[in-house]
Amino acid sequence: MNLNIKDSFNKELPADPIQENDRRQVTEACFSFVTPRIPSKPEIIHSSLEVAKLLGLNEADLKSETFKQIFTGAKVLEGSNPYAMCYGGHQFGSWAGQLGDGRAINLAEVEHDSNSWVLQLKGAGETPYSRSADGLAVLRSSIREHLCSEAMYHLGVPTTRSLSLSLSGDQVMRDVMYDGNPALEKGAIVCRVSPSFIRFGSFEIFASRKDTTNIKKLADYAIKNFFPEINLGTKGAYVEFFNAVLNRTLEMVVHWQRVGFVHGVMNTDNMSILGLTIDYGPYGWLENYDEEWTPNTTDRSNRRYRYGNQPQVALWNLFQLANALYPLVEEPKPFEEALEKYKADYEEQYLQMMRSKLGLETALDNDSIINQILIDTLALTETDMTIFFRLLANVQKDDTVEAMTRVVQDAFYDEKAIKEGVLESWKSWFKIYKGRLVSETQSDAERKAKMNLVNPKYVLRNYMAQLAIDEANKGNYDLVSELYNMLKNPYAEQTEYQKWFAKRPEWARNKVGCSMLSCSS
């Protein structure tokens, strides 16, 4: 196994001088050196050949003993200096102080084909940032992170990647629903891969300590490595940097809304400065279209991180980042202007995205009204978002509105509910939609082909991940592989996987892991 190690973060940025692995406040440093914990009986249970290739590895490497040792923490890569990053964050709207990589350990940066990737083990043991927790991760949440990272990538959503999923061979104690019922679970390790794991909170921690020197060092490092189009040397560079992060974050959220992804824990420590989806915890996918929905039980009362609120929360988080970068600019105006612009830009990009979901080529002034009526109608009775948009592509311009309603019938959870008022609402919306389709020049077939590239057929519904988890807990990883393979082509018909193009089954409606997820992982 040959990896071209080219570390920069742990070479160019200030290190914590203390090398003991005990929990502490770490100041004036971006990271602490730390060695992964030795697992008792490591076993790789799934790996991604695609991600391996990004790193210059091949299929034989994935099967090698060295791969297993390195990516479960059993052995440290020669020439590498693993470390945990220091960051803070606003959690659920409140400043939480120092957080940091409590259970993530960055192994090394690897360069391949002119791209640079950080390899990071999640669940590889304690670090100075572990606070009161154990530094470990369990199999269920690791399967969810491994599968979803790759599913999101193939959906075209900016995300960190996942190279491998392993068992540590150790048992981990977790209270899944925080209700006083702790139980032992299988410990697992995921190797995440990203150009960088710098978060909004990486800047906030220094700002909270009035450490402008290190805000600058980190910002300069980020700009130099990830935003090379920005010229360093003036205060304006940091404004440009902020604008670039803002634009990427906005783009990421528009994608989330497009595919019905709900992150679940949009704390500022979980926001990547590269606009990548990061930290897959109690995330979920909208099944019945409901803007109020959040998968995270920890957030059940406030629903801060509900689907419909994600664009606003991203803005709130960007506001925190602006505050953290402010000492480098010392002028509020450019930040205010950028944040102000976000709202209009979001509306515009969101609407354009919705047009693409609807297969509309032209932009008309009242499209936002058509969209709003659609959203209101979708919510009248439980309507599966993924299935609705996928079936909508089968509508023909010449269909009657009754026929159009029948085309999407399978998306309704209770088909019998589509009568009287609800049926009339659908017919009214289809009447407007039909008018739009008729006014456009593209054929039904052309529109369908385009819509099927933005409306996925297959997404990782929570109950699907839970089925894979239940099997994996029994030692059978076939379903992990099956879902992984299917989710590599979410827009393709893949009739062999037709059974996964289905509404959430009734048994999954209120089941832990399917509709309810806590932060316990």
Task: Catalog residues that contact ligand AMP under the rule CB under 6 A.
Answer: 99-103, 129-130, 133-136, 265, 269-270, 279, 281, 519
Run of H or E including 173: strand 161-174
270 binds Mg ion (CB under 5 A): yes
471 binds, among Mg ion, ligand AMP, none (CB under 5 to 8 A by kind): none
Pairing of strands 183-194, 94-98: unpaired
User: Does 98 participate in binding Mg ion (rule CB under 5 A)?
Assistant: no
Q: Cβ contacts of residue 220 below 8 Å, gap of 6+? A: 232
Asked if 290 is an active-site residue, the reply is no
Q: How far from the centroid of its chain's Cα atoms is residue 393's Cα?
A: 26
Of 187 and 334, nearer to ligand AMP (C-beta) is: 187
Give the x/- contact pattern for Mg ion in 126-155, rule: CB under 5 A. ------------------------------
Residue 340, token pair as written in the block: 């102000």
Give the other-Cβ count within 10 Å of 132's Cβ. Answer: 6
- Least distance between ligand AMP and beta carbon 99 (Å): 3
Q: What is the closest distance, in whole angstroms, from the C-beta atom of residue 172 to ligand AMP in the complex?
A: 8
One DSSP character per residue, 238-279 reads HHHHHHHHHHHHHHHHHHHHHHTEE-S---GGG-BTT--B--
Cβ 115 vs Cβ 60: under 8 Å: no
The residue assigned the tokens 């940097």 is 241
Residues 7, 170, 269, 384: which is the catalytic one?
269
| CA pair distance 498, 198, nearest whole angstrom | 39
**What whole-number distance in Å separates Cα of residue 19 and Cα of residue 32?**
7
Please say which residue, 252 or 329, places its beta carbon nearer to ligand AMP: 252
Which one of ligand AMP, Mg ion, none is in contact with 97 (Cβ closer than 5 to 8 A by kind)? Answer: none
Which residue is at the shortest CB distance from ligand AMP? Answer: 102
Q: Which stretch binds Mg ion (CB under 5 A): 177-185, 273-281, 294-302, 488-496?
A: 273-281
If the CB atoms of residues 136 and 508 are measured against ligand AMP, the closer one turns out to be 136
The residue (of 16 and 384) whose beta carbon lies closer to ligand AMP is: 16
Q: Which residues pair with 193 in a beta bridge?
A: 119, 161
Nearer to ligand AMP, 264 or 456 (CB): 264
Q: 302: how many CB neighbours lie within 10 A of its CB? A: 12
Q: How far is the CB of 94 from ligand AMP (least distance, A)?
A: 13
Nearest approach in angstroms of CB 66 to ligand AMP is 27
Query: From the CB of 213, what's the least distance to Mg ion, in Å?
Result: 26
Pairwise CA distance, residues 226 & 273, whole Å: 9
Least gap, CB of 265 to ligand AMP (angstroms) = 5
Structure tokens at 208: 């909270």
- 111, β-bridge pairs: 116
Indicate which single residue of 170, 220, 279, 384 sits in contact with Mg ion (rule: CB under 5 A).
279
Q: Which is nearer to ligand AMP, 47 or 298 (CB)?
A: 298
Which residues are near Mg ion by CB under 5 A?
270, 279
Active site (catalytic) residues: 269
